[in-house]
Amino acid sequence: MAEPLPFAVLISGRGSNMLALAEAAADGRIAGRLVIVISDRADAAGLDAARRLGIAAEVVAPVAGQDRAAFGRALTNFIEASGARLVVLAGFMRILDGEFVRHWQGRLLNIHPSLLPAWRGLHTHRRVLAAGDRWHGCTVHFVTEELDAGPAVIQGRLEVLPGDDEVSLSARVQRFEHIIYPRAVGWFAAGRLTCEDGMASLDGQPLSQAIVEEAQ
Ligand code: GRF
């Protein structure tokens, strides 16, 4: 059997997606090993949560005077040193520079709390509610230099319910994130998911659209 794929998870906060990924790697749904959790914030709760599971967890934050490109290079060096061959962004609240993105192109995944291309950027739940959208969800996508615009892999789609507020809606979306993100990383680790020339493919079939899962 092939070696489990070493992967890194980058966080800035709670790290619930990171924990879902760690659990999926531990129980074999992902043929991979979470080798390092990196946060740009020392107070990210996910750091201690990772350490409690025996996973290496480190802070890599920009130092005074360091521009985005230099920070990106420092981050790449750090990730390379861990041996990770896939970088998974899970609530990492910092825009990564072009050099970083190009270095990890095809090996850099993100999860975004909307049905991309709808609602790129922040405060997606609030904006969905304000717009009166019927559908909402989350998207796993490969990262490209354009923010929240890389090739989509899988979406979790759910219906906005009457009476939903930001709290209830974000909780349902997050539960879905914890299902679809391990699935996508599992596909990648198994060699089933690739991204070349800006096109994601699953089992050799180009994904001209994301795979859509509906809430049960
Ligand atoms: C998730 O909702 C994800 O969609 C967004 O940031 C949040 C991270 O949450 N990119 P957590 O830290 O994984 O709990």
Give the integer Cα–Cα distance in Å for 118 and 104: 25
Amino acid at 100: F
CB 15 within 8 A of CB 38: no
pTM: 0.97
Task: Report the pocket of ligand 1 as residue ranges, CB < 6 Å.
Answer: 11, 13-18, 46, 90-91, 111-113, 138, 174, 177
Q: Which residue out of 174, 176, 179, 185 has the highest number of ligand 1 atoms within 8 Å of its CB and is therefore the one to mutate?
A: 174
Q: Which atom of ligand 1 is nearest to the CA of 46?
A: 12
| pLDDT of amino acid 1 | 63
Going by CA atoms, what residue is nearest to atom 5 of ligand 1? 91
CB 154 within 8 A of CB 201: no
CB 157 within 8 A of CB 113: no
Q: Which residue has the tokens 């999860």?
A: 111
Q: List the helix and strand counts (H, then E) for the chain.
A: 6, 11
Stretches where the chain sits below pLDDT 50 are: none
Model confidence over 39-59: pLDDT tens digits? 999 999 999 999 999 999 999
| pLDDT of amino acid 216 | 72
Going by CA atoms, what residue is nearest to atom 1 of ligand 1? 91
112 counts as catalytic: yes
Three-state SS for 136?
strand
Give the integer Cα–Cα distance in Å for 42 and 51: 13
| pLDDT of amino acid 215 | 86
Average pLDDT of the chain is 97
> How far is ligand 1, taken at its centre, from the CA of residue 17, in Å?
6
> How far is ligand 1, taken at its centre, from the CA of residue 92, in Å?
8
* Given 112, 136, 141, 178, the catalytic residue: 112
